[in-house]
Structure 1
C-alpha cells in the first residue's frame, strides 16, 4: 500500500505503523518480514513539521542540557565530515571510549552500536566535564547529538534512528526499512506502494450495553465515570459487535458517541481525512455533500443522485460497478461485497477511466466522536444525516436496521452503549 493507506490499515486493525526505539526492535522487525522478500517495507516514521536536536540512543533530553559554543548551532552541515568519535560502554556506568579512527557520523554511530552501545548522550555538566578530561582540547569528536526532522506516526517521542549510509536526503517524506540491509532505513515517496509492518495487538474495543434510558449528555457522563466513553465505532466489525452487545429482542435505538460539531471536513468513507486536492476549478460549490469523479476531477453532488460507483477491495484493488445508485446505497454495496467506497489518490485516477461520473468515497462530514477519536467511519441509514433535522445533533444506532445510525434530539431518553474496561471500584 501507499504509506497513508498502510497507516490507516494499521490504525483500523492494530495500533499504528511500527515504531522502533532500539537495535533489538530493528532485529525483531527484520525477522518479522518474509525471508524471501528483498524490498523495503513501510515503518511509522515520516517527515515532521519541525526540527529538533535529539540523541542517537533515542532519549529526548535536549530540553534539559545544552552546551553549545558561542554562535552555535549555525546553519553548516557537519554530519558527513570524518572525525574521531566517542562510544558509550556496553555495561552500566559512566565510562566513555575514544575511537581514534575517523568516520562520518553515520558510520561512527554504526560502529558504536555494533561494538559498544551507541554514541554518547550528555545529560548534564558533570558528564560533559568527564568527557572533556579524556580528550585533547584541540580535537573534535562526534557525540550522539544530531538534528532530527522526523516523527513517528503515533507521535512516539523517542528519537532512535537507523538510517542507511549517509544522512536522509531532501526527497521522500516517508520511511521504509530494508530487510536485506540489516534493517536500515531510507526515504521514499509516500505514494509508493510497498508492504508494511503494524505494531500492537488487534484493536478490539470492549463494549458495555446499559439498559437504562438517559439523555445523550447523561449517558456520556455515565460512561466516562464508569468506563472510558460512549461507544466509538471504526469498522463494520465494530458495528456488528455493537448490535450483538445489546440485549436480544430489544428494538428501538441506543446512543453511541457520535455528535454534531460546527466544523465540516471532506473525509473518506474508509475513515481518514482527504489529503489530496483534485477538485475541478470552482468546486466544491455547495451542490451537495457527496463527491463524484468525472474526467479526472472531483465535483460535489447531492448524495441522492444516482450514479455508478467505484469500490475498493483489500485483495483486488479498485472495482467499478456500473449500476446507478445513490451515494449511501453505493457505500452499503461496497461494504457488503468489497471493503468500502474507494479513496482515490492522484496516481489512481487513470484506473477508473473518464467516460462517466462515478461516486467515490469522499463526503462532507460535520460529526465527531465523544472521545474526539479522529476516525471518520460512518454508518448512516438512508436519508441520514438530514440537513433539516434542526437540533437533532446526537446519534443513535437502530437495532431494527442492521445497526445503522440516525439523528435524534440529544434530550431524547434512550439506552446506550459504553466502551472500555470494567467498572472502576471507586465509582
Structure 2
C-alpha cells in the first residue's frame, strides 16, 4: 500500500487512467508464502499431481494436498528460528497464525534446510507438517517478474470484459484502484526504476565500496524499516549467504555508522552481532545482511567475498 500511495502522488492530475505493470499470463507456479520463488524443489515421485494447491512435508519429501486439510505446521521466527506448532489447522489458517505470531510459514531454500525441517517434524513425533509452499492461482504477473501478491482491484474487477482484458490500469477517480482493460487502449503510464542494485560479483568490502562509488553512488545505507524491506526484496536474488551493506565500525567510539556518515538509528542486528566491538582494530569487520532466513544484519571480516548492494541516486 505504500507503493500505491506513492503512485497516486506521482500521477496526480495526469488523467483518470494510467497503465501499471500488471498483466495476465495464465501461468500457474509454486512459490513460498514469503513471496520468494520456489527455486529448490523436493517433490515426492509422482508429485505434485496438479489437482491441489498447498504443500506439506513427509519423510523429507513434499506432497500437494487440498489447502482445506488440517495439519501441524512450522513457522519461521525472527529470534528462535524454526517453530513447530502442535495445532491442527488448514494451510491458510496456519499461514495467518505464523504471520501473526512469528514471521511466516517456513520456506525451504536448500537440502540442509529441508533436513532441518524434517528433523523438527520427527522430534515432535509427527509424520508430516504444512510448509509455506503454495500453487499460485492468480494469473496476473508484474512485468519485472517480481513476486508480489499485493492486489488493489476495484470491486467487480478484474472482469475480463469482452474476453480480452489482459492489462491493468489504475483508476485515479476510484482512489487508484485497479481494473483490467484491453492492452490495445492508449493511456499514460508509470515507469519504475529501483534505486538499489544487487551486484552478484563477489568482492571484499573495500572492493565493493570502491565499485559502488565508481559506478553508482555508494554502498547502500539502511536508515529505516522501509529501506530494510526494500533490501530484503533485493537480497533474495543473491548467490552468497550474506550481502555487504555500507556499514562499518567506529572503533574508538565503540559504535557502528553508515558510509554516508550517519550513525545507526534504525537497527536490525542478528543476535550476537553489532553489540560490542572488542578487538575492533585488530580484525577489520564490516556489516552485511543475511540473504536467507529473516535477513538480519551480521558483522563479518571485510576480507570475505560477498555480493553487495549499491544505491543509485541519479
- TM bin, normalised by shorter chain, reads 0.3 to 0.5
Larger radius of gyration between Structure 1 and Structure 2: 1
TM-score by length of 1: 0.32
